[in-house]
Amino acid sequence: MIIVTRPDATDDEIDAIRERVEAAGVRTHLSRGEHHTIIGCVGDEEPLAEIPFLSLPGVERVHQVMKPYKLASREFAAEPTRITLGQATIGGPEIAVIAGPCSVEGWEMLSATADVVRETGAAALRGGAFKPRTSPYSFRGMGVEGLELLARAREEAGVPVVTEVMDTRQVEVVAEHADVLQIGARNMQNFSLLSEVGRVHRPVLLKRGMSSTIKDLLLAAEYIMRQGNADVILCERGIRTFETATRNTFDLAAIPVLKRETHLPVFADPSHAGGIRELVAPLSHAAVAAGADGLMVETHPNPACALSDGDQSLTFPEFRALMKSLPPFAEAVGRTFPKAKPAATKASVA
C-alpha cells in the first residue's frame, strides 16, 4: 500500500499516519518529493484494510501495490532516485559513464586508464580486483592488492572507483577501498551477499543475471534496499539465449521497461552484451537512445595483452571516439553529456 499525503501535510500529520500504520505491525518507508510525501507500507498489508486512511488528516489518496517488489517500484518514490558519485549525479539529466579494464593487472595500466577516464569526462573508473571466472585456471584478479591500486588511482586521478564484490567475507574490505560495490551477473541471486551489501553505506551497481527476468532483477534490488541501502543502480548486460553471434543477447527493451517499473537508475553494459569490440559503440548509442542513465564500458591500454575480456575492451583512441560520439544521442532524448576535462598535471594531482 502507498499513502500519498497532501502538499500542505505537516510533519506531525505525517508522523501520525506512520504511527497508525506501524501500530498494525507494518513497516513504513518515507519518500519526500517537491510537492508530496509518499508513505510506503512494507509487510503484510491485511491488517491495514480496515483503517480509514482517507479520513486521517494529511492524507490525499491511497494506492494498493500488487507488485512483489515494493521498495524498488516506481510508486514507492516521490522522485527518481539520484546517486552522487564524485562530481557526477547518477540518475540525473546527465548521462554517466563508468569505464576501465575488466581486471586490475598492475599499476601502470590502471594509472593510464584512470587518466583517460578522467580526461574524457567519465564519472568513475571500473576495475576488477576479485574476478569470477568460469575456469578455475583463468586469471582471477589481484585481490586486496588490486583494491589498493584502485584506491591509489582514485587518489591520484581524482575519480571514484567501482569494483566487484563476490563474497560476504569481502564486503567490508571492498567497501573500505571502493566508492561503488558491483554485484556481478553470477551473484545477482546470491541473497546473502545482496543483504550484506545492503547494510553498508555504499552505492551498489547490480547487474542482471544472464538467465534472469526483469522481475528477478528488481527483486534482487529489493533484497539490498530492504536492509536500508536505497542507492542501487540496475545494469542490463545482456542475457543468455540460443544466439551465438554475440557473447550475450542485449535486451534493449529492458531499459525502457525498467524506467517504467522503478525509480532506480538504469545502466547498460555494451561490452558484455556484445562481447565484441566493434559492437560497443552501436550498442552504447542504442542504450542511450532507449533511456539508459549511464553506460559501463571496458577500456584497456592494450586489449591484445589483457588478462581478461580483451576482445570486448576498447583501446584508448576507440574509447575517446565513443565518448565524442555520444552527446548527440543524449541530446536527442533530452539528456546532457559530460564534457572532456583537461589532462591532469603533477601539480594539480598533488
Cα–Cα distance, 314 to 319 (Å, whole number):
6
Please tell me the total number of residues recorded for the chain in this structure.
Answer: 350
| pLDDT band, residue 343 (cuts 50/70/90) | low
pLDDT digits (tens, 9 = 90+) for 277-315: 999 999 999 999 999 999 999 999 999 999 989 999 999
The CB-side HSE value for 47 (13 A sphere, CA atoms) comes to: 12
The more confident residue out of 141 and 247 is 247
Beta bridge partners of 249: 239
pLDDT of residue 190: 97
Cα–Cα distance, 125 to 252 (Å, whole number):
24
Cα–Cα distance, 4 to 79 (Å, whole number):
13
pLDDT at residue 37 tops 70: yes
Beta bridge partners of 298: 100
Cα separation of the two ends of the chain = 52
C-alpha cell at 295: 553506460
Cα–Cα distance, 49 to 62 (Å, whole number):
11
144 CB burial (10 A radius; 0-12, 13-18, 19+) = middle
- Which helix H or strand E contains 205, and what residues bound it? strand 204-207
SS3 of residue 27 by DSSP: strand
pLDDT of residue 245: 95
pLDDT of residue 347: 37
- Which alpha helices (H) appear in 56-143, and where do they start and end? 107-119
pLDDT of residue 46: 77
Beta bridge partners of 236: 268
Beta bridge partners of 98: 124, 296
pLDDT of residue 346: 42
Cα–Cα distance, 97 to 267 (Å, whole number):
9
pLDDT at residue 13 tops 50: yes
Cα–Cα distance, 69 to 261 (Å, whole number):
10
Q: Decide: 303 and 310 in contact? Cβ < 8 Å.
A: yes
Average pLDDT over residues 325-336: 97
Mean pLDDT rounded to a whole number for the chain? 93
Q: Decide: 224 and 207 in contact? Cβ < 8 Å.
A: no
| pLDDT band, residue 344 (cuts 50/70/90) | low
Q: Are strands 37-42 and 2-5 parallel, antiparallel or unpaired?
A: antiparallel
pLDDT at residue 132 tops 80: no
pLDDT digits (tens, 9 = 90+) for 86-112: 999 999 999 999 999 999 999 999 999
% pLDDT > 70, the chain: 97
pLDDT at residue 349 tops 80: no
Q: Decide: 238 and 251 in contact? Cβ < 8 Å.
A: yes
pLDDT at residue 226 tops 80: yes
45 CB burial (10 A radius; 0-12, 13-18, 19+) = middle
Average pLDDT over residues 164-193: 96
Domains belonging to the chain, first-starting first, are: 2-66 (3.30.70.1140), 83-349 (3.20.20.70)
C-alpha cell at 181: 560495490
Cα–Cα distance, 322 to 314 (Å, whole number):
9
Q: Are strands 88-90 and 83-85 parallel, antiparallel or unpaired?
A: antiparallel
Cα–Cα distance, 34 to 55 (Å, whole number):
23
pLDDT at residue 331 tops 80: yes
Angle between helices 214-226 and 254-261 (to 10 degrees): 40
Cα–Cα distance, 79 to 71 (Å, whole number):
13
- Which helix H or strand E contains 15, and what residues bound it? helix 11-23
pTM: 0.85
| pLDDT band, residue 138 (cuts 50/70/90) | confident
Report how far apart, in Å, the C-alpha atoms of 96 and of each of 46, 89, 125, 321 are.
Answer: 42, 8, 11, 16
